Every structure is written in structure tokens, then in C-alpha cells.
Amino acid sequence: MLKSEIRILGFDDGAFERTDNQVLVIGVIFRGGKFLDGALKTEVTVDGNDATDKIVKLINSTRHKQQLKIIMFDGITLGGFNIVDIKKIHEETRIPVLVINRKHPDVKKVRKALKMFEDYKERWKMIKNAGRIKRFKVRDSKDIFYQSAGIDDKLAKEVITLSTTRSYIPEPLRAAHLIATAVVKGESYGRA
């Protein structure tokens, strides 16, 4: 049985311009979907390849690490096409990882866009390594889509359901989005 106040760390990036070099990434720690318990921040390179290493370093160095049970991302990229390698994050932090999307990613479109990068094959491998994209309906809400590393589907669905309290997106991701956009733009806007 899943504890109602399981510590979940949700990440989202702030708004950025294509001409920016760096983008702010905010992580918020929630107890289930009810209480904000802490926050973390880092920056990653726009369209770079440093997101995975920066996230691993941030998680492994936080005083909250021992309490963290799940890591969540709003999508598999940060700062444009800076891809998050969820298997590597799970392996190097020993914490299960979920990637949540509002819409089913257009994999063909993503693959085509990635071809503009010299390291296209490495980036595409990270996306493929994230595994199959699965559909899930939280309560009577809209469908969401998720990928996972280090967690089975039954538990992943329990975590998503537990942490989804105010909308159909888990609270750690919704809060990370609101904070990241407010810090960058002066006020929060948009949807996680």
C-alpha cells in the first residue's frame, strides 16, 4: 500500500527564448499531492545535453534525498531538446522515475526534429530507452500519458492518482510549472 504522504519530486522548466543559453529548472517536493515540502533549482543548456547529469547531481546532493521515493518530469525534455535519460537518472539516484505528458507525444515529429543535432542518435536512444508511452485516465478526468523507469505500472498509476488532486496533472508538476514560470516571467501562467 502506498503511503499518502510519499515524497515526490516533480520537475519542470521555466519559459525561455530560443536565443537563451540556459533555462531554469525547478523541482518541488510534495507529500503525495497535498503539501509542498521543499524546492530545488538548477539550470540546463537550451537544446543541450546536460539535463540528465544536472538532475542527478541535484538529487544526489540534496538533504531531502533520503526521503524521496519518486521523481517526476513534465515531459522527457527540458529547455527545448535537452533530453532527460530517465533510466540513467533511476540508476544513478536509485529512485523510480515517471515522465508525464498531457498529450501523446508525436514521436515521428520529435525524431525528425532531433535530426538537426549532431548527436541525434544519442538523443534518440535516450527517448527510446524511456520505454513505451502508456495511457492512463486519472479518476474521471482526461487521459494522460506516462513513461517510467524503476517502477511497475500498477504502482506508477497509484502514484499518479495519489498526487493528482487539483487538476489532471500531478501536483508536484503543476507546482513546479507555476513556480518556474513565475520566477522567469514575474508571474505564473500556462499549464504544466
Task: Record the pTM.
Answer: 0.94
In the three-class reduction of DSSP (H, G, I as helix; E, B as strand; rest coil), residue 119 is classed as coil
Dihedral pair phi/psi, residue 14, rounded to 5°: -85, 175
DSSP letter (8 states) at residue 69: E
CATH topology of domain 7-185: archaeoglobus fulgidus dsm 4304 fold (3.30.2170)
Q: How high does pLDDT run on average in the chain? A: 95
What does DSSP say about strands 97-101 and 68-74: parallel, antiparallel, or unpaired? Answer: parallel
Question: Measuring CA to CA, how many Å separate 16 from each of 19, 24, 48, 74, 117?
Answer: 8, 8, 13, 16, 19
C-alpha cell at 119: 548527436
- Provide the residue ranges of all domains of the chain, joining segments of one domain with +: 7-185
pLDDT by residue (tens digit) across 51-80?
Answer: 999 999 999 999 999 999 999 999 999 999
pLDDT by residue (tens digit) across 90-104?
Answer: 999 999 999 999 999
CA distance 130 to 25: 20
CA distance 7 to 67: 6
CA distance 172 to 11: 7
Dihedral pair phi/psi, residue 94, rounded to 5°: 65, 30
